[in-house]
Homo-oligomer: A and B are copies of this chain.
Amino acid sequence: MGEQAMTGTAYFDPLETQAPQQREERLLAALPRQVAHARERTAAYAQLLRDVEPGEVTSRTALSRLPVVRKHELMVAQQARRATDPFGGFAAIGWRAGGALGPARRVFQSPGGVYEPEGQASDYWRTARAIFAAGFRAGDLVHNSFSYHLTPAGAIMESGAHAVGCTVFPAGVGNTELQLQALVDLQADGYIGTPSFLRILVEKAESAHIRPGRLAKALVSGEAFPRPLHAWLRERGIEALQCYATADLGLIAYETAAREGLVLDEGVLVEIVRPGTGEPVPDGEVGEVVVTTFNPDYPLVRFGTGDLSALLPGTCPTGRTNARIKGWMGRADDAVKVRGMFVHPLHVADVLRRHPGLARARLLVSGEMANDQLTLEVEREDTGGDTELAARLADSMRDVTRLRADIRLCAVGALPADGKVIEDRRRLD
């Protein structure tokens, strides 16, 4: 498979090899329609985008002026509207009288009590493309070790496998002995699940001196996939690739046989923004992955994943022409607790917004527990009014976070471009 893909003969569809300019035009042409759809069919976007003229959202610059919706805002909206709409006004499907576009196929509950809808469309989460890129083909038997219960992980992958034309063994999580028996009895062609559980299955098979069926390929997701584990699996005849998907958005990016970053899915428009803001970062800089989907049922526009990544220059050696991102580089939206108060990257962005002309800021949390020190490091162009600027920034910090912070001003470019807005250096032991 790897070789086939490398020589360009195996793509899921012609979209993967279209000219980048053509792809961009197609995405930007679809954008005003999707913005209009979200505004007309969901209560949340009717409110969020009430001042937006959809017909004018025809460029990435125009898109970057729309608000970013972050997971915690979705959760707050869901909780506020729970009695009437468990999706918080963001979905165009539902049940009973809910959902402008008709009935959802399933509803899922993710950790933290957030709910996601699944529509009636085949390959609703668009994972078929990633499954195909990992070498799966029609007629294969897929051993799916993601959970089908409560969360959508199992369904996200199963619907894609069905779209590829595979038969699925819904193994779910746990029951390692029975899963191993199924691998031996059914001779599955490939595995889909977390990389750590695949390792457990293979180790268990080795210790029992049995071969886990004819497993030769795998699509892994849901957690980090360390390079040494990839090599360990390859030594055992299993070529594993990863993909990046979420319960809200479906597939965002996927690995190919080239294993150089993750190629973006064809059904999303991805931006990398400065965490806590809606501003795109320069190409190559680390930032938060913000995704606009073209899913009519759950039309998330500028949804902030909270995940950090960065665009990778160049194109994929397999011939896929879409942009690539590096793998998962951490969480952007991790709030920290300082002297009993939560401080969020949004707070830092808020402080910065009150002082035009500043480039970037980073909040350092240091000291021992119960004796926390806050230092706001800020890049500024002009060193002229430093003393006054520092005093005003300290005031803004107090207004926004109710916490006292030292201010350290530095030159533009002095702060690391790693996407981190809050760095917690406290000793926890």
Contact = CB atoms under 8 A, between A and B. Distances in A.
A106 B150 contact: no
B139 A95 contact: yes
Interface in A96-152: 96-97, 103-109, 113, 115, 138-141, 147-150
B115 A186 contact: yes
Chain A contact surface mostly: loop
A172 B172 CA distance: 11
Copies of this chain, whole number: 2
A185 interface: yes
A189 to B, nearest CB: 8
A178 interface: yes
Contacts of A174: 149
Contacts of A168: 105-107
Nearest to A84: B187
Contacts of A95: 139-141, 166-167
Contact of A106 (B82, B109, B167, B185): B167
Nearest to A139: B96
A391 to B, nearest CB: 47
Contacts of A172: 147-150, 172
B167 A107 contact: yes
A178 B112 CA distance: 10
A299 interface: no
A171 B182 CA distance: 23
Interface residues of A, number: 46
A109 B181 contact: yes
B178 A107 contact: no
Given A103-B166, A108-B169, A109-B181, 20 more contacts: A86-B185, A97-B139, A103-B167, A104-B167, A107-B141, A107-B167, A107-B168, A107-B186, A109-B169, A109-B186, A147-B149, A148-B154, A148-B172, A149-B171, A149-B174, A149-B175, A150-B175, A150-B178, A155-B170, A172-B172
20 contacts: A94-B167, A95-B140, A96-B141, A103-B138, A106-B169, A106-B170, A107-B169, A109-B182, A109-B186, A113-B181, A147-B149, A147-B172, A148-B148, A148-B149, A148-B170, A149-B170, A149-B174, A149-B175, A150-B170, A172-B172
Interface of A: 82-83, 86, 94-97, 103-109, 113, 115, 138-141, 147-150, 154-155, 162, 165-175, 178-179, 181-182, 185-187, 189
